[in-house]
C-alpha cells in the first residue's frame, strides 16, 4: 500500500488566501528571481542599453531556456 497525497484544489476553487499564497510563491520562485537579478545586474553594470542587453542574453540562457525545458518536460510527463 502506498500513500498518495490528495491533489491540490484548482486555482478557481481556492480561497482568497490560497490564491494569494500561490501568486506570491510563483512570483518569488528562484527561477524568476534569477532572470530578474540578471537583468538588474546587467543594467547596473553599465547603466546603458549594452549592459541591459548582456543581462538579457544571460537571463535567456541561464533562466528562460532552463525554465522552458523543465516546463516542456513536466507537460510531457502528464
Handedness of CA 65, 69, 28, 62 (dihedral sign): negative
For residue 78, what pLDDT is reported?
63
Amino acid 2: pLDDT:
87
Query: pLDDT 10s per residue in the chain (78 long)?
Result: 788 888 888 888 889 999 999 999 988 988 889 999 999 999 999 988 999 999 999 999 999 999 899 888 887 766
| Cα–Cα distance, 55 to 42 (Å, whole number) | 4
Residue 41: Cβ-neighbour burial (10 angstroms; 0-12, 13-18, 19+): middle
The predicted structure's pLDDT at residue 24: 94
Work out the end-to-end distance of the chain between its first and last CA atoms, rounded to an integer number of angstroms.
23
Cell of 3: 500513500
**What is the pLDDT at residue 60?**
94
Amino acid at each position: 500500500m502506498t500513500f498518495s497525497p490528495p491533489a491540490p484544489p484548482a486555482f478557481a476553487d481556492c480561497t482568497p488566501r490560497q490564491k494569494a499564497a500561490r501568486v506570491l510563491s510563483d512570483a518569488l520562485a528562484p527561477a524568476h528571481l534569477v532572470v530578474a537579478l540578471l537583468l538588474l545586474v546587467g543594467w547596473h553594470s553599465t547603466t546603458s542599453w549594452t549592459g541591459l542587453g548582456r543581462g538579457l542574453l544571460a537571463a535567456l540562457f541561464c533562466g528562460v531556456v532552463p525554465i522552458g525545458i523543465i516546463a516542456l518536460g513536466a507537460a510531457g510527463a502528464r
